[in-house]
Chains A and B, each alone.
Chain A
């Protein structure tokens, strides 16, 4: 079974621009979560989608948004990029129960650099 895939793997953007990252979950997984990983803050939860609905949200500003499609694929968008948004963005999928109580399968991440 194919794992979680994320595109693109690397991205360089300029301050003020916006960016869209894509995630394809494992076949049959209906929950998709997004995380930001930085050396200073570590792993931080962004949001989770289940059946095209945002089920859970972390403590990030409104510039960070996401959506999920009927085939469970998900996208996250960051508008008005700031230097501090440079990070590894990880997507994880799970069967159904949710981020805290389900085994999550992570993708390799998208490395975003904001200049």
Chain B
């Protein structure tokens, strides 16, 4: 099972780019990497998902190096409303015909003016 490690907290100013890195040294061949955002009193919200290289959508980019042992969520030009907890999820089908899922402990991002 891929152990997923991410920084506990990060601070940023409005308008800056924020990069949050997740370490998953034991990632399996079939595992995908997914990032979720969670605000207080709400369930997590999907941000982006990738398997390798780079994925970009309207809100973020996900960079995955060739060895896939880490991944970086990039949030361009953050605003105050991006203050939230960000979770890295690594998982995929396993040999027992099920899924292995491993969430990181979450990175609390604080954006200030």
| A interface residues (Cβ-Cβ under 8 A, vs B) | 4, 42-45, 48, 55-58, 90-92, 98-101, 103-109
* The stretch of B16-24, B40-48, B62-70, B74-82 that contacts the partner chain: B40-48
Is there a chain A Cβ closer than 8 Å to B52's Cβ?
A: no
Indicate if the CB atoms of A100 and B93 lie closer than 8 Å.
yes
Instruction: Spell out B's residues near A (CB within 8 Å).
Output: 31-32, 34, 36, 41-46, 49, 87, 89, 91-93, 98-101, 103-106
- CB closest residue in chain B, given A44: B103
Interface contact B104-A101, CB-CB below 8 Å: no
Let me know if A108 and B41 touch, CB within 8 A: yes
Find out whether the CB atom of B42 lies under 8 angstroms from the CB atom of A100. Answer: no
* Pairwise interchain contact A92-B103, C-beta atoms closer than 8 A: no
* Cβ A42 vs Cβ B46 within 8 A: no
Main secondary structure of the interface of B (DSSP, over half): strand
Main secondary structure of the interface of A (DSSP, over half): strand
Determine the residue in chain A with the shortest Cβ distance to B98. A56
- Would you mind naming 7 contact pairs between A and B with Cβ atoms under 8 Å apart? A43-B87, A45-B99, A90-B44, A100-B99, A101-B32, A103-B49, A106-B44
Max count, chain B CB within 10 A of own CB: residue among A43, A92, A108: A43
Q: Which residues of B contact A104 (CB under 8 A)?
A: 44, 46
Q: Is the CB of B105 within 8 A of A42?
A: yes
> How distant is A30 from chain B, measured CB to nearest CB, in Å?
16
Residues in B whose Cβ lies below 8 Å from that of A55 = 98
Residues of B within 8 A of A99 (CB): 91, 99, 101
Q: Using A103-B46, A106-B43 as known contacts, say yes or no to A42 and B103 having CB atoms under 8 A apart.
A: yes
Could you say which residues of chain B place their CB within 8 Å of the CB of A56?
98-99
Decide: B46 and A100 in contact? CB cutoff 8 A: no
* C-alpha spacing A43/B102, complex, angstroms: 8
A7 to chain B, nearest CB (A): 14
Docked Cα-Cα span, A77 to B46, in Å, equals 26
A29 and B45 alpha carbons, distance in the complex (Å):
16
Interchain CB contact under 8 A, A92 and B43: yes
Residues of B within 8 Å of A91, CB to CB, are 43
